[in-house]
């Protein structure tokens, strides 16, 4: 979880498994809720450590210490880890098993020299003789760097069946997508040649054409800047998007697709159209697409 609110939402659903706050606490007051709901907490800044040591808790909590080995985003400097771990070990309301984690900046480029540099730094840390559980691997490292698995791995995007690598899809890695983004045909029009379609008229028919309107747009989370002819999946065919993606709809060329009717389902991404391909077409990453659905998109 990125924050306490997300963790509490998970607990409210009845989930009682391990739940880690990866950005830790944002105020000392949050510690009581962390303890009450038996959450695990990452600490990565001196002020978080000070808050934790200064506030007795009703239940012991499991704490993870994040070390900055080269990501330069969150984490204690390596030279501080011995002191931090020792302080936590001596704290009565901290679990006796301390977690130690880092994050690889280039795990999705496993041959990048920074990967081995970070691993060396992590493995050469000066650590006190206490019980420590270690974690390094994100999705990319799980798949490409088995020597980073340590005690605990942290799969993220691969849980969605999506690849963490720019040059492969999840399906190519043996993963199965767990999400389908689907809409439906809401209108069908027959146009002659030389008719401009959509905002700005950037695309026009070159022959008598059948144009379908799909009830989805960037207001739902479909990227506006996909390349021309980016496909959707309709009735067993890959069908090109034509014209600009609008807020609430987009248009597709149905001319070569037989027997399309109003209400036919359209897959924007999922089993037949990998989300990675849509991300590439929009010059972004699949992570962003999976995070930007609007509240009006119905989830089933």
Q: Which residue among 82, 199, 222, 287 is the active-site one?
A: 199
Asked if residues 73 and 112 have their Cβ atoms less than 8 Å apart, the reply is no
DSSP secondary structure letter of residue 117: H
Asked if residues 232 and 215 have their Cβ atoms less than 8 Å apart, the reply is no
158 is in an annotated binding site: no
- Closest by alpha carbon to 45, among 67, 75, 70, 23? 75
Distance of CA 211 to the CA centre of its chain: 34
Q: Among all chains, which residue has been given the structure tokens 């659905």?
A: 293
The whole-angstrom separation of Cα 241 and Cα 220 is 16
Catalytic, 199? Answer yes
Which helix (H) or strand (E) element contains residue 155?
Answer: none
180 is in an annotated binding site: no
What strands, in cross-sheet order, belong to the sheet with 40-43?
20-21, 40-43, 63-66, 98-101, 132-135
Work out the burial of residue 226: count CB atoms within 10 Å of its CB; fewer than 13 is exposed, 13-18 middle, 19 or more buried. Answer: buried
What residues are annotated to the active site?
Answer: 199
Enumerate the known binding-site residues: 73, 247
Enumerate the known binding-site residues for substrate: 73, 247
């Amino acid at each position: 979880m990125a924050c306490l609110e997300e963790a509490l939402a998970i607990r409210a659903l009845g989930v009682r498994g391990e739940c880690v706050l990866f950005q830790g606490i944002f105020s000392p007051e949050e510690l009581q809720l962390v303890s009450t709901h038996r959450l695990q907490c990452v600490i990565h800044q001196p002020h978080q450590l000070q808050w934790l040591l200064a506030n007795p808790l009703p239940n012991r909590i499991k704490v993870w210490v994040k070390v900055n080995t080269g990501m330069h985003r969150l984490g204690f400097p390596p030279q501080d880890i011995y002191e931090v771990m020792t302080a936590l070990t001596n704290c009565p309301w901290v679990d006796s098993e301390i977690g130690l984690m880092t994050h690889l900046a280039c795990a999705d480029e496993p041959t990048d020299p920074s990967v081995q540099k970070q691993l060396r730094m992590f493995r050469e840390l000066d650590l006190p003789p206490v019980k420590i559980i270690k974690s390094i691997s994100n999705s990319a490292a799980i798949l490409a760097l088995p020597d980073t698995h340590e005690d605990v791995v942290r799969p993220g995007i691969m849980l969605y069946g999506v690849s963490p690598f720019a040059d492969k899809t999840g399906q190519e890695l043996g993963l199965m997508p767990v999400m389908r983004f689907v809409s439906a045909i809401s209108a069908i029009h027959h146009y002659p040649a030389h008719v401009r379609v959509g905002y700005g008229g950037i695309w026009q028919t070159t022959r008598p054409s059948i144009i379908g309107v799909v009830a989805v747009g960037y207001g739902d989370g479909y990227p506006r800047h996909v390349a021309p002819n980016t496909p959707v999946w309709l009735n067993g065919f890959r069908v090109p998007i034509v014209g600009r993606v609008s807020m609430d709809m987009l248009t597709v060329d149905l001319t070569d697709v037989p027997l399309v009717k109003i209400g036919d389902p359209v897959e924007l991404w999922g089993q037949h159209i990998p989300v990675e391909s849509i991300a590439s077409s929009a010059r972004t990453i699949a992570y962003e697409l999976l995070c930007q659905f609007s509240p009006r998109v119905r989830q089933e």
